[in-house]
C-alpha cells in the first residue's frame, strides 16, 4: 500500500488529542505526517502544546498557510485561519475539517452558545470537505446526540469534544483510504436550516437585559457562562454586574 502524505492543521485540546492519536496510528495506517500548522492558545494551558509535541516527533511546524506543500490529505481540527483555495488545492486527495457542530445548522463560531439560545434538543459534530467558504463543504461523516435538559455551555462543549474525538478515530481509516460518500450541505438545509456566526458575536450574547423573562435570562446565562472567559452580565449604573451559575 502506498503511504499517504498528510499535513495536520489544528489547535485547542481537541486538535492536540487528534494529533496525538494520529501519531500513534500513523505507521499501521501508512501515513507520513509532512508538517503541522497550529497556533498557541494560552487559555488551555501548557498541557496541549502542539508545537512541543511535533518537535518531539521531529515533525516540521509550518509558520502559516503559505508554507503548505503538496500532500495527499490536509486535515484540519480547530485551526483558526480560513484557507484560500490555492492552499486547499495542495491536497491531491482531499482536504477535510472536523467541525465541532452539526452542519449545516451551525457554521463558524459560538456554535455551542447558539444551540442553547435557540433551544435545540440535538447537537453534533461533523467531518466535512474544506472549500474556500466557512464550514461549507460536503459532509463526509457526522454524529448527532441529544442535548441534556438545562444544559450549560461547558457541558455541551464536553459532550461534543468526546463525540468529536471518537468520530475522528472511527473515520480516520476511511479518510485515508478514500472510502467515504460526500453529501452536499445544500441537500440538508431544508431539514435543518443553516446559520453562520463569528467570534465577536459572543460579546453581544453576554450582555443580558434584566427586563427579559426568567426563562430567556436562564437560557442566555447557561449559553454564555464558559469557565475561563468573561461571564455574562447586565449593566447597572454604567457598570457590569456578572451572573454566576448559582444565580441561574
Backbone angles phi, psi at 223, to 5 degrees: -80, -15
**C-alpha–C-alpha distance, residues 217 and 248, integer Å:** 8
Inform me whether the pLDDT recorded for 219 exceeds 70. Answer: yes
Residue 237 has pLDDT above 80, yes or no: yes
Q: Is it the case that residue 43 has pLDDT exceeding 80?
A: no
Using pLDDT thresholds of 50, 70 and 90, give the confidence band for residue 46: low
Structure confidence by residue, pLDDT tens digits, 183-206: 999 999 999 999 999 999 999 999
Residue 2 has pLDDT above 70, yes or no: yes
Q: How far is CA 247 from the centre of its chain?
A: 29
- pLDDT value of residue 48: 79
Q: Which of 167, 89, 72 is nearest to 128 (CA)?
A: 167
CB neighbour list of residue 226: distance below 8 Å, 6 or more residues apart: 153, 154, 157
The pLDDT of residue 82: 87
Q: For residues 248 and 210, which has the higher predicted lDDT (pLDDT)?
A: 210
* 215 grid coordinates: 426563562
Q: How far apart are CA 32 and CA 3, in angstroms?
A: 7
Q: Give the confidence band of 39 by pLDDT, cuts at 50, 70, 90.
A: confident
Task: Please give the grid coordinates belonging to residue 193.
Answer: 436550516
Comparing 45 with 170, the larger pLDDT belongs to: 170
Mean pLDDT calculated for residue range 6-26: 96
Q: Looking at 147-204, which runs of residues are DSSP E strands? A: 196-197
Pick the range with the lowest mean pLDDT from 38-47, 81-90, 227-236.
38-47
If you average pLDDT over residues 116-139, what whole number do you get?
Answer: 96
As a whole number, the mean pLDDT across the chain is 93
pLDDT of residue 81: 86
CA torsion, ordered 231, 81, 11, 157, to nearest 10 deg: 40
User: Which pLDDT band holds residue 49 (cuts at 50, 70, 90)?
Assistant: confident
Name every residue whose Cβ is closer than 8 Å to that of residue 43 and which is 6 or more positions away in sequence.
228, 229
Domains of the chain, with CATH numbers?
A: 4-196 (3.40.50.170), 204-247 (no CATH)
Q: How many CB atoms lie within 10 A of CB 149?
A: 6
Amino acid at each position: 500500500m502506498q503511504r499517504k502524505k498528510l499535513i495536520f492543521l489544528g489547535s485547542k485540546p481537541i486538535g492536540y488529542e487528534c494529533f496525538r492519536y494520529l501519531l500513534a496510528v500513523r505507521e499501521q495506517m501508512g501515513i507520513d505526517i509532512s508538517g503541522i500548522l497550529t497556533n498557541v492558545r494560552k487559555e488551555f494551558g501548557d498541557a496541549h502544546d502542539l508545537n512541543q509535541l511535533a518537535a518531539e516527533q521531529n515533525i516540521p511546524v509550518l509558520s502559516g498557510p503559505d508554507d503548505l506543500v503538496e500532500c495527499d490529505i490536509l486535515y484540519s481540527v480547530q485551526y483558526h485561519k480560513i484557507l484560500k483555495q490555492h492552499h486547499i488545492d495542495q491536497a491531491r486527495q482531499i482536504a477535510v475539517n472536523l467541525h465541532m457542530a452539526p452542519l449545516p445548522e451551525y457554521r463558524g463560531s459560538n456554535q455551542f452558545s447558539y444551540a442553547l439560545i435557540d433551544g435545540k434538543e440535538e447537537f453534533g459534530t461533523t467531518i466535512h470537505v474544506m472549500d474556500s467558504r466557512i464550514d461549507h463543504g460536503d459532509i463526509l461523516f457526522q454524529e448527532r446526540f441529544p442535548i441534556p435538559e438545562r444544559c450549560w455551555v461547558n457541558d455541551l462543549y464536553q459532550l461534543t469534544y468526546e463525540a468529536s474525538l471518537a468520530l475522528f478515530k472511527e473515520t480516520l481509516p476511511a479518510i485515508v483510504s478514500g472510502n467515504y460518500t460526500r453529501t452536499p450541505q445544500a441537500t440538508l438545509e431544508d431539514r435543518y436550516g443553516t446559520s453562520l456566526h463569528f467570534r465577536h458575536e459572543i460579546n453581544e450574547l453576554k450582555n443580558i437585559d434584566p427586563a427579559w423573562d426568567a426563562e430567556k435570562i436562564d437560557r442566555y446565562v447557561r449559553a454564555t457562562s464558559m469557565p475561563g472567559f468573561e461571564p455574562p452580565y447586565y449593566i447597572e449604573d454604567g457598570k457590569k454586574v456578572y451572573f454566576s451559575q448559582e444565580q441561574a
